Amino acid sequence: MSRPSRRHFVAHALLAGVASACAEGPSASPARAPGQKPAPPPAPPPGAPAAGDAVTAQTIAEAEKLVRVRSAPAAREQMARSWQTNMGPSFALRERPPLDPSLAPATVWDPRAAAGALPPPARANRLLPSRRPGPAAPPASEAELAHAPVSLLSRWLKQRKLTSRALTELYLQRLEAFDPKLKCVITLTRAIALEQADRADRELDQGKVRGPLHGVPYGLKDLLDTAGVATTWGAEPYRGRVPSEDAAVVKRLREAGAVLVAKLSLGALALNDVWFGGQTKNPWLLEEGSSGSSAGSGSAVAAGCVGFAIGSETLGSIVSPASRCGVVGLRPTFGRVARTGAMTLCWSLDKLGPMARAVEDTALVLGAISGPDPGDASSVPSAFDFDADAPVKGLRVGFVRAWLDGASEAERGALEAAKRAGMQAVEVAFPDLPYGGLLPALFAEAAASFDELVRSGRVDQLGTPNDDAWPNFFRQARLLSAVDLVQAERLRRQVARALDELMRRVDLLLVPALRDEALTATNFSGHPSLTLRAGFVEIDRIRSDYAPPPGRELPALAPKRRVPQGVTLVGRLFDEATLCRAGMALERELGVAGERPPGF
C-alpha cells in the first residue's frame, strides 16, 4: 500500500500559500489632542538612507499578484517612491555580516502557554525499567545480539555477562560491513567508541552504574555537534565543518555512559534521505530510500548496526523513517530536550528524539537526554516519570474513524490491539482547520536560518533541483510577507488550543503514521508522538520523499514486496510516559517487533 508523501503535501501547501514580496509602509498616526487637525503623513527625513534597488509601480503591481490584493494606481506610485527609504532598514540588515547561527529569534514558542495550560509542576525524574524476566544470558548468535533491545543489553552489561568493548566492536564491524549497501554512515567514530567502551567497562567492573545506557553503543544524526569530529548536516557546503564543542544531547549521553560509534546520515539540511554521499537505503527494501531526514538513524537501527540512535524532527523526520524502516521513533514534546549544538532548521519546531528497536528503549534514552540548557531558549524544565510496568487498562485512545477506514489493515489492527490491552477506544473528530496555512512559519524560519547560504549562491551545491527541495523552498520563502507570517502564527495558536481541548477528552490519539493533518498539527503545536511497527504491508511501487518529475512515476515493483508499516500515537504535552506505556502494551499485543530485515 502506498500513499502520497508528506513532502508532496508540503510542496502543494507551499505553492498554494506563497504570499507577497511587497510590504506597506508605516501607517500609524501620531497621537493628537481633541479637535486638533490630523498631521500630514510624515515625509522621509532629509538625507534618509535609501537601500536596495529602486522599484516601479509596475513592480508593485506584479508583486500584488502573489499576495492576491489590489492597490489603486496612486497607492502603487507612493509605495514605489518610498520603498527604498521605508524598507531601508530591512535591506541594510541583509547587507550586514550574517547573524551568529546560535542566535535565536526573540519570540519563543511555548506549547503550554499557547494551549492555555499551566506549566507542569517541577518534579524529579523517575525512570523504572521493566521488571519482566528476560533471557538470562546474551544469545550466541552475533546477529541476534546486535538486534537485541537496549533494555536487555543494559541488563547483560550491568550483570557483566557482556562487555561494552565486545558489543562496540560488534556494532563497528556491522557498520563497516553493511554501510556500502545502506549508506547510513557519514563518520565512523572508532577511536572515540573504543575509548568510551573501555571506560564504561572499567566503571561497570567497579560497580559504578550510570544508568540503563551505560556501555550501550549508539549512533548520532549528523546534525548534532561533536567536538573535533566533523558534523556535516549531510550537505556538501558543510562537509568540512568541525565543531569545537559537543551538543548538549551528546554531553548527556556521555554522562549516561553511552558509547558513540557513528555519525549517521541525514538528507541534506534535514530534508529527505539524499545526502552528499548518496541515498540512505531501507534495510527491508534496498531499492528505496530509508526516508528522511533521520535517514541513517532509521536505517542503522533497523539493520542492527547500533543499539539506538538520535534523530530529529521538524515535520515528520522521525515519524517517516521510523515507519518505513520498521523501528520505534519517539518525538518528544517541543522544549523537553535541549537543542544546543544542533543544526537549526526552524527554531520553533525542531525537536530531538530517540529511535530504537523497542518502545521501552526510547523511554530509557529520553530519560537520559531530557532537560533544559541555557543555550536553547525554548528548552524548559520537565519531569519524566516513567514506570515501564504501570498498567494501561482504562486509558482512553482517541481515533478518527475515516482515517482508519482508509488506512492499512496493520494500522486498523493497532486499535484492536489497544482494546485487547484494556484500553478504551474513543471516536473523536479532529479539528477542521487549514493546517497548510501553518507552513509559512516553517519556511520563513528555515530561510532565515540559511539566508547566507542562499545569498552566497552555495545553496546550489546541495544538488537538489526538485521543486520540493530546500533551494526552491528557501527562495520562495523570500516572497512571504511579514503579515502572512503573523497570520500563520495566530493560526498556530488556534491549532494548539483546539488540540488541547481534544486531548482533554482522551489520553492519547492513534493515527496512521503519516496522516498529514495530524503530522502537521501536532508538530506545530508541540505535542509528542510515538511511531512503532504495527505490522506489514505489500507495496507495488518504490516510495520516495521527493515528488517524481512531471510525467514520470516512481519505479514499479514486481512482484510486490513485504515491508513494515508503522502507526503513530500522539500524547498530551509532556506526557511521554503514558505514550510509552501504551506503546509497550501495543507492542506486546501486536507481536511483530521481533522480525528482522532479511540479510541483516
**Pair 408, 439: CB distance under 8 Å:** no
Hey, is 106 helix, strand or coil? coil
**Pair 369, 401: CB distance under 8 Å:** no
- 265 CB burial (10 A radius; 0-12, 13-18, 19+): buried
**Pair 571, 508: CB distance under 8 Å:** yes
Could you give the C-alpha distances from 140 to 37, 68, 178, in angstroms and in order? Answer: 92, 67, 21
Q: Which residues, 6 or more positions from 178, have their beta carbon under 8 angstroms from its beta carbon?
A: 184, 283, 303, 305, 600
Question: Are β-strands 285-289 and 281-282 bridged in parallel, bridged antiparallel, or unpaired?
Answer: antiparallel
**Nearest-angstrom CA–CA distance, 464 and 293:** 14
**Nearest-angstrom CA–CA distance, 289 and 286:** 7
Q: How many Å separate Cα 74 from the centre of its chain?
A: 47
**118, three cell numbers:** 499551566
Cell 527494501, residue located? 285
Query: Can you give the C-alpha Rg of the chain in angstroms?
Result: 25
**Nearest-angstrom CA–CA distance, 334 and 314:** 10
Of 360, 264, 376, 367, the C-alpha closest to 310 is 264
**254, three cell numbers:** 556521555
Strands, E assignment, 373-505 = 385-387, 396-399, 424-427
Outline where 450-481 has alpha helix (H). Answer: 451-455, 470-477
* DSSP classification of residue 162: S
Hey, is 462 helix, strand or coil? helix
Of 17, 22, 6, the C-alpha closest to 473 is 17
Backbone angles phi, psi at 289, to 5 degrees: -75, 165
**Nearest-angstrom CA–CA distance, 41 and 50:** 19
3-state SS record for 281-344:
EECCEEEEECCCCCHHHHHHHHCCCCCEEEEEECCCCCHHHHHHHCCEEEECCCCCECCCCECC
Strands, E assignment, 31-99 = none
**Nearest-angstrom CA–CA distance, 100 and 339:** 16
Hey, is 25 helix, strand or coil? coil
Hey, is 419 helix, strand or coil? helix
Of 305, 309, 546, 522, the C-alpha closest to 433 is 522
**Nearest-angstrom CA–CA distance, 434 and 536:** 32
Q: Cite the active site residues.
A: 221, 293, 317
For the CA atoms of 101, 105, 109, 113, the dihedral, rounded to the nearest 10 degrees, stands at 140
**Nearest-angstrom CA–CA distance, 96 and 89:** 11
**Nearest-angstrom CA–CA distance, 506 and 128:** 25
Q: Which residues, 6 or more positions from 498, have their beta carbon under 8 angstroms from its beta carbon?
A: 431, 433
